[in-house]
Amino acid sequence: MNYKFIQFGPEGFPLYYYDESTYPPVLDAAGEPIAKNSDIPADARKVTEQQWENAQSANLWLSADGKIVAPPVAKPFETPEPVVTILPAVILWERTTATEAAQIEAAMETQDPRSRNIFRAAQTFRSDHELWPLLEQLAMQLFGEQRAAELLAPDER
């Protein structure tokens, strides 16, 4: 008596495998197999040799309507476009106090001439620009994480 059973999980994928070698059949007095092993759960589904092999390669699935088929093709994962913060330079300066503005100016003086001139000439500060991390770092060092987030938040106007 050859048999193979698979118990499927709630999502339809195989969880447990039962066959005659791991769950030997019930034998009669003469030692002949007469029934499947009673330890095989009632909800385990009888499968063919091909389905058994397909399950071994993760290519078997129990559909909602009870059919044993190949699993559905997974939908490709779409990476969302990164959100770009665009902050007009004037808004950043309007948000700062006079003391904060002076601290920013002093911190900028420690930067290289290229960075200083880019920041001074900028009409906007963009989170996708190479110098945005420097702007975030300086703001956090000077004012802490919460105030830096307030200063660099997108303009909601």
How much is the average pLDDT of 102-131? 95
Percent of the chain's residues with pLDDT above 90: 87
- Domain end position, chosen among 18, 38, 69: 69
- Domain end position, chosen among 15, 39, 69: 69
pLDDT band at 141 (very low <50, low <70, confident <90, very high): very high
* pLDDT at residue number 114: 96
Q: How many domains does the chain have?
A: 2
**Residue 42 maps to a domain:** yes
Please check whether residue 108 is in contact with residue 142, taking contact to mean a CB–CB distance below 8 angstroms: no
Please check whether residue 127 is in contact with residue 84, taking contact to mean a CB–CB distance below 8 angstroms: yes
List residues bridging with 5 in a β-sheet: 18, 46
Percent of the chain's residues with pLDDT above 70: 99
Q: Residue 74 pLDDT > 90, yes or no?
A: no
pLDDT band at 75 (very low <50, low <70, confident <90, very high): confident
How much is the average pLDDT of 125-146? 95
Q: Residue 152 pLDDT > 90, yes or no?
A: yes
Q: What is the CA 1 to chain-centroid distance, rounded? A: 45
Residue 58's SS3 state is coil
- What is the distance between the alpha carbons of residues 9 and 14, in angstroms, rounded to a whole number? 6
The token duo for 15 is 């969880």
**Edge-to-edge strands, sheet with 45-46:** 14-19, 4-8, 45-46
Domain extent, residue 126, equals 86-152
* 60 and 95 both lie in a single domain: no
